[in-house]
Structure 1
Amino acid sequence: MRQKILITRPLFPDVVDRLRQYFDVTVNDGERYTSEQLHAALQDMDGVMVAGGEKIDDSVVRGLPRLKALCVSAAGYNNVDVAALTRAGIIGTNSPGPADETVADFTWGLMIATARRLVEAAHWLQQGQWKGSAGSRWFGANLCDKTLGIMGMGRIGQAIARRAIGFRMKAVYHNRRRLDPAIEAECRAEYRSKEALLGEADFIVLAMPYTPENYHLIGAGELGLMRSSAMLFNIARGGLIDEAALALALKENRIAGVGLDVFEGEPAVYPGLMGLPNAVLTPHIAGGTAEAQHGLASLAADNLIAALGLGPQAGRPPSVFNPEVLSGR
């Protein structure tokens, strides 16, 4: 008998067709599953591909003896309770890599939009407010020749840093571990402590994964270290910033601006951030291009095929985040 898999959200047809070569495939093209509905849908499944935002916890994966693999079509997997997955003996994979350059491009767009007040100015124009010369009303800030601080210097952080070269920006970074000197040279980036980076940089980008240790990494104390002219950007994960402290700092003009693509309670947004003229807020779309999403789905398919013992990488899925399950089989 062919193994059965579930795809929880509609995918690119060519990716689904490739999976059909190996499995009996069910695609949920209706409303997003609740946790209870997803648990029920997985009762007779051998594998599942989930989107990046679907919550996977013990209530979803407990008591599913057939389920052997859960593959996330996203680089981040903080929506997955890894310990629960491991206890259930289910291989978990994610899709790092395909969206890195896309997210880096978006980060620069967000920085430019915030620094040059593009969203605010566009709304003003569309409301019919432009009656003559705008004069100094929409003066913003230059990015060129400023200092860019990157917190989290993985693949995306490095891609952001490489783009800074074209803006003649000095790049400094903070990471759990200092990078190899060759990578530092390629990115033209200098290591700093967290505190030194916050005090030095004009533009600060959060590009690290979310972990419990990183919860509210940027709070009132850290915001107090930033220059009043500095701007903060989060394209990583919600929960890295204390949004209440951030909203207060923005209202009191203790920092100049913020660009956020992710939020702690998304899709809900902390109310204090809404309507602030110095905040550019976007709905978690940094990786939102067809090219990037197709790449994520393709890698998730590679993982699922391999995790269920088929294809050219049978038994060796490319990106496993709980390898102890795999090694125990």
Structure 2
Amino acid sequence: MSSAFPSTFSSTRSLTRRRGPAAAGAAAALALALAGCGSSTGSPSMHGMSSASPSPSPSPSASHAMGDMPGMGHAAGNGLSAMRDGYRLTSKDAKLRSGKQSVYRFAVTGPGGKPVTRFALDQEERMHFYAIRSDLSGFQHIHPTMTGDGTWSARLASLAPGSWRMFASFTPAAGAGEGENLVLSRTVTVPGHATRTRLAAPAGSTHVDGYTVTVKGEPMAGMPHPLTVSIAKGGKPVTDLRPYLGTYAHLTAFHEGDAAFAHLHPTTKVAGDGGDGGGPDLAFQAELSTSGNWRLFLQFQTGRTLHTAALTLHVA
């Protein structure tokens, strides 16, 4: 695959609900850079390195194996397996069409082999679903819906040809794994001529939708380290962040080469008066399993718009 897509981009979409991720705490140099991917207006998912609105909340209501990853809670693993602790991510969808919206259907089976239908809320959702291409482009974060038999449907925005990995992050609400944060993944193929997106070089800050996002910290592989994310607009600190998923910012990361997954846990608390007015500094606890470059996706909300900044971070 050859180098193709641009290394920076941004877009916006209006939100149909309010949520909130959180923020960051401290140290010296780190590396990042933005990449984006156009807007997907009208789609329930976020397409590429772009800004978008979150998908509808799940209603508590199925190839290639790939991934265990740390999910929205404090899950162990890196998302690179379809099985963990007796739980399995299953799907009949080994291929998805390119250039059009599509639906990825899947289920989670428990240690007894039966579909799991009871999931605990984790950052306001029962299931967090992520799609990422093998070159770490095309990021989408979706909250799928579930039918009564345990089949989940994730509505994806247009996918570029290539190999994609689909991650499911969840917490069983009953059974042997009750209360355990799990992340499982599988791969799918999107047919067509695939051109590789070159990963943007690490840098200290990036821009999205008129906002400047700066990251400070010195993460080391396999150890928890604080990160501080600061957000400004027009040279002025931003203080009007609104909650998204219960915090002021949501931060996920994927490792270059194998797409190992990590969720960087927010430590900044949402204000008790409803949470409006967050920022400009957000604290996160980062625990990245492997050294090398990680692609970070920071989602934050202002007004009714969700912004997504893509950053490249080097981990020693």
Structure ranking higher on relative contact order (CA contacts 8 Å, 6+ apart): 2
For Structure 1 versus Structure 2, the TM-score category normalised by the shorter chain is under 0.3
Which of the two has greater helix per residue?
1
Instruction: Report the TM-score when normalising by structure 2.
Output: 0.22
Which of the two has greater strand per residue?
2
Instruction: Report the TM-score when normalising by structure 1.
Output: 0.22
